[in-house]
Amino acid sequence: MRSQWECLLQNLGCWQGSFTRLSAKGEILEDIPSETSLELNSGNQTVRQVVRRFYDGQPQDLVLEYRSLNKSTTFFENGAFSQGALQFAPYTEFGAELGLIHGDCRLRLVLIYDKASQLDRITFIREHLPNNTTPTRPDLTLSDLLGKWEGEAITIAADWLEPEVMSTVTEWKQEGDRVIMSLQIQTPIGTKTIASSARLDPQNPQILNFEQDTLSIQTLFLPDGASVTCPVEIATGQPFRIALSWLIEPRQHQRMIRSYDRKGGWTDLTLVTERKVG
């Protein structure tokens, strides 16, 4: 297993793309061209990150330097990562970022909840290295996910113990406007099954509304084969998850899940990689 620092270094390079600001319903409000560079300075001890966004053609830079990583940021071996609040608390802003990486492309998403715990802002970031030849992926649709997927889940706990690797089977089925998703995880003590049901939004087929008693959960289908699943509102005393998914190829899928417990504490980060088998 690579160290967290070595995993960060998988993101070195000049990533070109855009920061797309979305409404809580997935509507594109603004698209800002960007260039994010990560460079390793001499001695391999400092990473310098420059986030350059172009507003009306004029660059604005944000410069950050890293000598170490804290608990709020967690990386996987391929460079995929998440950073965010370690604790949700009412009456304060809450946010998290999830980032997936595949070859010369990266996909990132930032969610911000306001002081009333309502989903307030979404920033969707699509990036690639120079001379990228990967074609732009189409907008994700429900039909892309229907079927059976098999793969593995890698979970890193909040205490950064050795990652746990488990095999997975995910199935998506549609019955009219109702969608059923089931996930089976092979744990050391047996098979764990998680099932959930959702309905297509009658006003917007790019939104799935999950049927839960405790939290209002939605999935937004996004451009470039992406989707985000998250609570519309975070409720005190209820566990919740934030997930970013990416259909890299028609039969290859990644998903990152950031989980919080009923006390609002961050518990773990999971990266799921699956292939369609039926």
What's the domain count of the chain? 1
- CATH number, domain containing residue 9: 2.40.128.20
Burial label for 105, CB within 10 Å (0-12, 13-18, 19+), is buried
Please give the chain's pLDDT, 278 residues, in tens. 789 999 999 999 999 999 999 999 999 999 999 999 999 987 778 999 999 999 998 999 999 998 998 889 999 999 999 999 999 999 999 999 999 999 999 999 999 999 999 999 999 999 999 988 888 899 999 999 999 999 999 999 998 778 999 999 999 999 988 999 999 988 888 888 888 999 998 888 899 999 876 789 999 999 999 999 999 999 999 999 999 999 999 999 999 999 999 999 999 999 999 999 98
**What letter does residue 225 receive in the DSSP assignment?**
T
Nearest to 3 by CA among 54, 85, 69: 69
Pairing assessment for the beta strands 252-260 and 147-157 based on DSSP bridges: unpaired
Domain limits at 31?
A: 4-276
Number of residues in the chain? 278
